[in-house]
Amino acid sequence: MSLFNTPLTFKFPWRDYQGKFLDGFQEHITDNHLHVIAPPGSGKTILGLEMLLRIGKPTLVLAPTLTIRNQWRDRLVDFFEPAPANDVLSLSIKDPALLTFSSYQSLFALHRSFGENANEQLVQFIKKHNIETLVLDEAHHLKNEWWNCLFQLKGIEGLTIVSLTATPPYDSSALEINRYFELCGPIDDEIAVPDLIKNEDLCPHQDFIYFSRPDDAQIKYIVSYREQIIDFTNDLLENDTFQSFLMSLEIYQNSETSLEHIYENPSFFSSILIYLRATGHEIEPAKLNILGFKTKDVDFPSFTYEWSQCLLQEVLVNERDNFVAHESILMPIEKALRTIGVLERKKVDFIGNQDLYRNLANSPSKLKSIYEILKDTSKYLKTETRAVVLTDYIRKEFLDFKGKELSKLNKLGVVSIFHFLMAQDGFDTQVGVLTGSLIILHRTALEELRSVMPESNLRTEALDFVKDYYFINVPESGKNKIVAAVTKLFENGTINILIGTKALLGEGWDAPSINTLVLASYVGSFVSSNQMRGRAIRVDADVENKTGAIWHLACLDPTTEDGGKDMEKLKQRFQAFNGVSLNDEPYIENGLARLGLPEKLNADLDIDALNTGMLQEAQNRSVLKNRWDTAIASGNVLIRALKVPYEKEVPFRKTKRLAGLNAVKYLSVQVITGITLFLPEFMLKNFGALLNKGWLSFVYLLGSAIMVGFGPKTLKALKVYFLFGNQFKKTKKIATAVLAQLKSKNLLTTKSDALRIISEQNVNGTFMIYLEGANQHDCNLFVSLLDEIIAPIENPRYLLVGQSWIKRKLGFRSYYVVPTQFARRKEDAVQFKKHWNTHVDGSKILFTRNLEGRKHLLKARFAHMRYQFEEVSEKTVIWK
């Protein structure tokens, strides 16, 4: 089908990876849904145009900004032939044509304009104009109120939806992520960064992290915050009136008649029991039976911050209206939490409130980090330095800063970064400031700017406290021109370092010469971070063998083992980045693991050594290119895999490999060796017993001694086998059951005879499982189902219940989830159970939407605090 009377064709040859993607296009679009990840530099807009032309139906393209909307139209006119007539194209959603380019804002405005029954009228408007294809460009930009009208359109029968993005919003809330994928559908295909580098459309690049610690004032603030929480928790455990209040609640007093309430919110009921047990109260067996436990099965967890948070969120916020008679008890607790900063915006958060996070994310210690990065880069690249520092705020309050009292620069921003650099002795690299409302240039750059913009009447003002630097006042009408002019000065090397805000330079701004990017931004999501990152990884036609260094800043929380909120945010951010490993054998993968960071990022970490190593790696640019070349040559496609990390206290090398019985052998050797050494000594000491009491008594005494001395190690050997050796093998069996179900239900688009389950484990103990021979859609579906099965149990419709008494007694996981995909109908769940019994073990299926099922579901969630799969599995992307 052709959209226009005369079919349009792309003027140029398709790049290899674009051609490969288009070859599979018809296969993906059969369900009227296509979701594609296309990184910066891949020609996303051109591919989008080709797709809508191949679909051949009247189309509405929605873009996040007017600039990007116009780019769609311009690309069609410039890169396809013959040129389409003007009457078949439209930039107005109110007056659509065969091909309409608009924005999400315009769609929302149209939706609002309909007034009453807006949803129905919007749907009728789309149908009236025969729009049959909807293209969503960068749908992660959507604001909350815009989703409604898009879901109304999604409900139109027969509408084809094509979603294009460079960065799915993985670091958003679970609600936002689910909403995004509900609208856009599962990822069908992804254009691989390695392909772009191989094709020289992106340059080799590496992400680095520069670590800092809070200053003394911040450390004091954090320590005080943690100490106040400890004091509060101790006081709460000694609060007799609060204990009496909880024990007087209907849910506790009359638990048997409050089952519906308990099963609606089992975490709250559990938190009450855990709290009361921590205060020394005995918990009646009947209350534990409600949760599906026998008394001897229960291993009460400590009253941790998480349980405290769960308990107080309910009594102080969610159910507060029900406890009006107890305000004299609850109000002092609320005031104490608000004083600490734990209760804000109707949310109890002991882990770290927003003020604590901002305190670290905005730490002035990052000013020194930025300086060290730029100093080292300038020393190595000299006049070839093209560094951009992007941050969130301008911080004009620091414009009058003078001297070298750097402690006064206590907030991260454009002006504070500029002044911090200028205050450093010997730092003479050319620096420029470029924001929407503030421009600062060196005298030499200003002179060249005048020659570039001779017609402009630039008004300048010398900075009082920074020699040879000037403010530039630009009229509103000339802002676009001066941004382009300053960019040109940066491109030609008149300016080596440019400091700006992500609002101006983050999206839409382009300077191919960038070889170093410092992301001093913490407000934006990783969507905007990846767009900023895209500025530094593009090739520069004027620079042969360009490489890009992208620096992320982390201020570590010294009171935690994992580095705190900054590292948590970076971990989320890195999930979107496919990059080459920093050390050892080169491989390409997303996530933080490829940087080889220490497991613990606590106060004992030698960050100076870590930062020095990062700086050295950043300047090994020729080595970086070689690592990319080697890693790219080792594979040809991105594979979506499930990764289960090894995060035990005992090093993996000591417990040996998960793949076999080495772990149990290791401990068995210890037992056998111990007995061998122990036996002669025992016989010498007990020879008299052998003569006086006979062989039977001697053997009994020997057996007792062996059980006492070596029984615990023998039991440990058995547990190690099941927990370590069996974990890897069982995951493979579960994967086999999943694949069998997918095949039997015809849910795969790849030919079944081409599929093979691959399971691999690294020397560090982590193992991965993926589907070989499948397209991206099938890989993603397979991994998502496998992840759902072994992830912590939430609220599935059906459970698979293991029937092995021995494993239950040893504390192994005996409950697994029937994935949502297989649980919508009972017959599908039963069919999956048959595959499970064939490939995994003999489990029975359990429906959780009745009273007995809820009991089992609660037991599945709370009975074992440490499941067999206690590590959090994660979906990863690797180049194979």
Cβ neighbours of residue 480 closer than 8 Å, sequence gap 6 or more: none
Look at residues 752, 828, 831, 817 and name the one whose alpha carbon lies nearest to residue 784.
817
For the chain, report the end-to-end CA distance as a whole number of angstroms.
36
SS3 at position 783: helix
- The predicted pLDDT at position 657 comes to 36
According to DSSP, the β-strands at 497-501 and 431-434 are: parallel
Cβ neighbours of residue 305 closer than 8 Å, sequence gap 6 or more: 229, 233, 350, 351
SS3 at position 431: strand
For residue 472, give both structure tokens.
């530039």
Q: Can you give the pTM of this predicted structure?
A: 0.82
* Helix axis angle, 851-862 to 266-278, nearest 10°: 50
Sign of CA dihedral 414, 415, 418, 424: negative
SS3 at position 63: strand
- The predicted pLDDT at position 797 comes to 93
SS3 at position 426: coil
CA 511 to mean position of chain CA atoms: 28
Report the distance separating Cα 336 and Cα 607, nearest Å: 36
Ranges under pLDDT 70 in the chain: 1, 141-144, 170-174, 292-298, 352-355, 357, 477, 506-508, 523-530, 646-726, 763-765, 804-813, 862-872
Helix ranges (H only) for 382-498 are: 414-422, 443-452, 479-491
Cβ neighbours of residue 477 closer than 8 Å, sequence gap 6 or more: none
Report the distance separating Cα 385 and Cα 491, nearest Å: 10
Q: How many CB atoms sit inside 10 A of residue 66's CB?
A: 14
For residue 711, give both structure tokens.
């029984």
Residues 148 and 110: beta-carbon distance below 8 Å: no
Residues 408 and 429: beta-carbon distance below 8 Å: no
SS3 at position 88: helix
- The predicted pLDDT at position 264 comes to 77
Spell out where 59-150 has E strands: 59-63, 80-81, 89-90, 99-103, 133-137
Whole-Å CA distances, 540 to 134, 205, 382 = 34, 13, 18
* Helix axis angle, 118-128 to 104-113, nearest 10°: 120
**Residue type at position 41:** G
Look at residues 585, 576, 595 and name the one whose alpha carbon lies nearest to residue 633.
585
**Domains along the chain with CATH numbers:** 9-191 (3.40.50.300), 205-215+363-429+496-636 (3.40.50), 218-359 (no CATH), 662-879 (no CATH)
According to DSSP, the β-strands at 343-344 and 347-348 are: antiparallel
Q: How many CB atoms sit inside 10 A of residue 305's CB?
A: 16
Q: Could you read off the pLDDT of 226-276 as tens digits, one per residue?
A: 899 999 999 999 999 999 999 999 999 998 888 878 877 888 998 999 999
SS3 at position 389: strand
Instruction: For Cα atoms 90, 92, 97, give the angle at the middle one, nearest 5 degrees.
Output: 40
- The predicted pLDDT at position 360 comes to 77
To the nearest 10°, report the CA torsion of 161, 167, 171, 176: -20
- The predicted pLDDT at position 494 comes to 96
Look at residues 761, 728, 515 and name the one whose alpha carbon lies nearest to residue 619.
515
Q: How many helices (H) and strands (E) does the chain have?
A: 36, 29
- The predicted pLDDT at position 655 comes to 36
Long-range CB contacts (within 8 A, 24+) of 286-291? 286/255, 286/256, 287/252, 287/255, 290/255, 290/256, 290/259, 290/262, 290/855, 291/266, 291/855, 291/858, 291/859, 291/862
Cβ neighbours of residue 253 closer than 8 Å, sequence gap 6 or more: 247
- The predicted pLDDT at position 402 comes to 87
Chain position carrying tokens 């002019």 = 485
Residues 509 and 487: beta-carbon distance below 8 Å: yes
Rg of the chain on CA atoms, in Å: 31
Residues forming a β-bridge with 460:
472
- The predicted pLDDT at position 654 comes to 36
Whole-Å CA distances, 136 to 59, 72, 88, 133, 169 = 11, 12, 20, 10, 14
- The predicted pLDDT at position 867 comes to 41
DSSP secondary structure, 251-304, as one string: HHHTGGG-HHHHHHSHHHHHHHHHHHHHTTPPPPHHHHHHTT--GGG--PPP--
Report the distance separating Cα 112 and Cα 119, nearest Å: 9
Cis peptide preceding 82, ω within 30 of 0: yes
Say if residue 410 is exposed, middle or buried (CB neighbours under 10 Å; 0-12, 13-18, 19+): middle
**Residue type at position 752:** S
Phi, psi of 760 (to 5 degrees): -135, 150
